[in-house]
Structure 1
Amino acid sequence: MQHSLLERRYICYVNRRTSISSLGPLAHIYKGEKAMYPVDLHMHTVASTHAYSTLHDYVARANACGIKLLAITDHGPDMKDAPHSWHFINMRVWPRIVNGIAVLRGIESNIKNIQGNIDCSTQMLNELDLIIAGLHEPVFAPKDIHSHTEAIISTIAKGDADIISHPGNPKFPINIRAVAEAAAFYNVALELNNSSFIHSRIGSAINCRKIAKAVRNAGGYLALGTDSHIAFSLGNFEHCIRIINETEFPHDRVLNVSPRRLLNFLIERGKANIIELADW
């Protein structure tokens, strides 16, 4: 069986733990109270008990700030204060559009080990539109750069995760080029997490800049998330925008540019077309 160069590099990395050996600034950004992008892909509700807003709170805030599509992504069940798996399975009762806002059923799952397993059962996967996966200390204790890189690349290669959350976390150093190339090859987006510049994961900025450059060079996608734990921060991508501009990341490879861009990405990844959002 013949393997492409990237496949050979990926296989080499996992087997030996060795590294995988039209740009322009954004044309337009909304300022003030309006969201800089119309899509926010990462937020937590009161179902994750360290967060403070409901689905209705986020929809109300979305109408106020210009968000057209949002994804609710509460923590996966292996996190101590996360909702039960039934919470995610029962998202099937949610309407697709609430007060003019498209709502995706999502999860921020936990990467559990270097094999890339996540805390998301087949039944959960079948009900969810968007799967984010990331390394979180309560589930995966920080180890070393090789273990972190292998865990993320293995998760990417397994195919369930659409987005890798906050890969710039300095507590989980990674081989950025290896992860970016694997993500581009498997059509998985890497996240720029606005909260990493403000409240959490202090020291992420340098890594996020390197990640944006590596994803740009690999031809992959970035996903922006506010990682909101309260509705007031919905749609605030200020720090992500700065990184995108500084690295001259291609505007059309940011999933948040429009609901249609994000929905097409999910379809490209084999997700079912959401009929109610066919015109979005």
Structure 2
Amino acid sequence: MKYPIDIHTHTIASGHAYNTLFENAKYASEKGLEILGTTDHAPSMPGAPHEWYFGNLKVLPKELYGVTMLYGSEANIVDYEGNIDLPTEIQQKLDVMIASIHDPVMKPNNNPDLNTSAFLGAMDNPYVSIIGHCGNPSFPIHEEEVVKKAKEKNVLIEINNSSLVRSRIGSEKICTKVALLCKKYNVKIILNSDAHCCFHIGNFDAALKMLKSIDMPEELIINRNKTEFFNFIKSRSTR
């Protein structure tokens, strides 16, 4: 089955990615994607752009090379209360915002109570629409609490392909448990590449292999369908 939507991608603005916005969009077009999200790292990440970068995304075209463009951020959860490192007035103008924990911003720990609290707090933020790579073994969580909160708050759980192949080694066991809980509680997930190089955009192979192993229902994978995805975005929109 085709999955024509990839929301979590990075450009050179993130500081440790390697392609421009236009290179990413052109590659997405050549690969047949219909929607591409650009979600560069928010300011707390070393090398990330200033908050003004996100405040000025309005100048960018809504379509490039025939691909519908969504402009947002992979915001950093900066504390165990779930606070985000972008001002509210900028958050509310983004097309989409992913909330993630990153070890350059928060120190890795083995306390699932603290990490769960951070994700739960982030989901109370009305501008957070996706929880990013919560299977990171450097930040263990109480998976069931996170999945239940996602259902309550209408937030998508990301299955991050990069986590399974290169970025956060050891994530597969936790990601599988999270996916099984999403299946159990009927919680929508989103496949994302987390591409830091254009050639990874739209590649969900590792994530799909894992989901196939647990017989994940297709209807829970939101980026299989453009209409369903936009209905979700509209349900989350504050604009």
* Superposed displacement of residue 193, structure 1: 0.5
* Superposed displacement of residue 53, structure 1: 0.5
Are 1:129 and 1:271, in contact at CA under 8 Å, matched by a contact in 2?
no
Residue 19 of structure 1 corresponds to none
Matched pairs, number: 238
* Superposed displacement of residue 127, structure 1: 2.2
Residue 97 of structure 2 corresponds to 131
- Equivalent position amino acid for 1:151 in 2: A
What do the CA deviations read for 1:89-115 (whole angstroms, capped 9, x no partner)?
A: 110001111121000011000001111
Return 261-270 or 86-95, whichever deviates more. 261-270
What do the CA deviations read for 1:54-84 (whole angstroms, capped 9, x no partner)?
A: 1111111111111110100000111111011
Instruction: Give the TM-score normalised by structure 2.
Output: 0.96
- Equivalent position amino acid for 1:113 in 2: D
Residue 5 of structure 2 corresponds to 39
Runs of 5+ consecutive residues of structure 2 not aligned to the other structure: none
- In structure 1, C-alpha distance between the alignment counterparts of 2:140 and 2:102, rounded to whole Å: 13
What do the CA deviations read for 1:144-164 (whole angstroms, capped 9, x no partner)?
A: 110001110111123221001
**Aligned structure 1 segments of 4 or more residues deviating by more than 3 angstroms:** none
- Equivalent position amino acid for 1:223 in 2: I
Matched, 1:148 2:115: yes
Residue 88 of structure 2 corresponds to 122
Q: CA RMSD in A?
A: 1.1
Residue 26 of structure 1 corresponds to none
Matched, 1:93 2:59: yes
- In structure 2, C-alpha distance between the alignment counterparts of 1:247 and 1:181, rounded to whole Å: 19
Matched, 1:210 2:177: yes
Which of 79, 94, 109 aligns to 1:113? It is: 79
Matched, 1:48 2:14: yes
Instruction: Give the TM-score normalised by structure 1.
Output: 0.82
What do the CA deviations read for 1:114-154 (whole angstroms, capped 9, x no partner)?
A: 11100121221132100000111111112311000111011
Structure number with larger C-alpha Rg: 1
Residue 230 of structure 1 corresponds to 197
SS in structure 2 at match of 1:265: helix
What do the CA deviations read for 1:38-61 (whole angstroms, capped 9, x no partner)?
A: 000111100011100111111111
Return 223-232 or 250-259, whichever deviates more. 250-259
* Superposed displacement of residue 190, structure 1: 0.9
- Equivalent position amino acid for 1:120 in 2: L
- Equivalent position amino acid for 1:152 in 2: F
- Equivalent position amino acid for 1:178 in 2: E
Matched, 1:172 2:139: yes
- Equivalent position amino acid for 1:128 in 2: L
Residue 5 of structure 1 corresponds to none
SS in structure 2 at match of 1:249: coil
- In structure 2, C-alpha distance between the alignment counterparts of 1:178 and 1:131, rounded to whole Å: 21
